[in-house]
Amino acid sequence: MRLYVLKHESRYLRTGPGGSFTGTGLEKASVFSPEQLPVLREHLAEAEKAGYPGSHIVVLEVRETGVLEGQGETAVCEKDQEAAAQWNKLC
């Protein structure tokens, strides 16, 4: 699945009321579906005017694989368990 966000330098943008923007981490960024790309392009132009020059659209590739171990009944493949273990070492 592809989703889209606005990014400015190392921060993602969250859209707010009245055309406002806030730089955030990915977990709080405004996320748009492919059907919303025309709206996202409008937000991009507005972000440039609102003090976020050089902002751009970033594509997020999302892959749903199941529930991580200990989170439920669904079995997770070994490759995903290894990836989760590696991620936990980085945190």
Contacts of 62 (CB under 8 A, 6+ apart): 1, 2, 3
Answering whether pTM is above 0.75, one says no
Strands 21-24 and 56-61: unpaired
44-69: pLDDT as tens digits = 999 999 999 999 999 999 988 877 66
**Domain-embedded: residue 25:** yes
**Domain-embedded: residue 29:** yes
**Domain-embedded: residue 90:** no
Per the structure, the count of domains in the chain is: 1
More confident residue, 75 or 29: 29
**Domain-embedded: residue 72:** no
pLDDT given for residue 91 in this prediction: 39
**Domain-embedded: residue 23:** yes
**Domain-embedded: residue 52:** yes
pLDDT given for residue 26 in this prediction: 95
pLDDT at 17 over 80: yes
pLDDT given for residue 66 in this prediction: 76
**Domain-embedded: residue 80:** no
Domain span at 55: 2-61
